[in-house]
Copies of this chain bind each other. A is one copy, B any other.
Amino acid sequence: MLYYGYFRSSASFRVRIAFGLKGLAPDFKSIHLRKGDQFAAAYTKYNPQEQVPTVVTDAGDVLVQSPAILEWLEETHPNPPLLPKDPIERARVRALAMVVGCDIHPIDNLRVLTYLQKVLQVSEGQFEDWFNHWIALGFRGLEGMLADHPKTGTYCHGETPTFADIYLVPQVFNSLRFKLPLAPYPNIKRIFDNCMKLPAFDKAHPKNQPDFEP
């Protein structure tokens, strides 16, 4: 198996964590987003969206979109499970994941921030306000969904990591890059710290990737 990704991409980070938790170690090719590797025809034939990650299976099948890749991994490599068995609990885990995957990350990712700067030419203050506004709104919702819920445990849902943690950790990493204070989100902070003690999360961290740049 082969995966195309970029050290700082949240979606690549998610997939790396899942690979690690499942005990998989696919080959890796770096797609340098700031240098524009994602626009090369040799890559867009796999990923017409010009995004990372892309996974190519041993059979040559091409998978894109991190939520779809994670569900595929769970279906084809079920152990250890990253979703609970009960449908209602699965829905909770997926909902927590999608708060990040649909409502925070897409609005604060590189291409949107670039548009704000280059096309709308927002000021530095407006830029920071934008970033912090969407993270704060999303984290407030996420913290509300975690706080006092009987299934919230060492991780977002229970005592083993799930999709929810796989989405949470890269988003917190991003927030820390922009120095967002985590004090208003004690559950998010606690769960992030718990996750980072696990080798699969640490190994997937951007700083530990072969294409890392400070």
Contact = CB atoms under 8 A, between A and B. Distances in A.
Contacts of A101: 67, 102
Interface in A188-211: none
B98 A67 contact: yes
Nearest to A50: B141
A133 B120 contact: no
Nearest to A49: B141
Interface in A65-80: 65-69, 71-72, 75-76
B99 A49 contact: yes
A107 to B, nearest CB: 6
Contact of A106 (B50, B75, B106): B106
Given A98-B65, A106-B102, A115-B133, A72 B48 contact: no
A72 B119 CA distance: 40
A64 interface: yes
B48 A63 contact: no
Contact of A72 (B61, B87, B106): B87
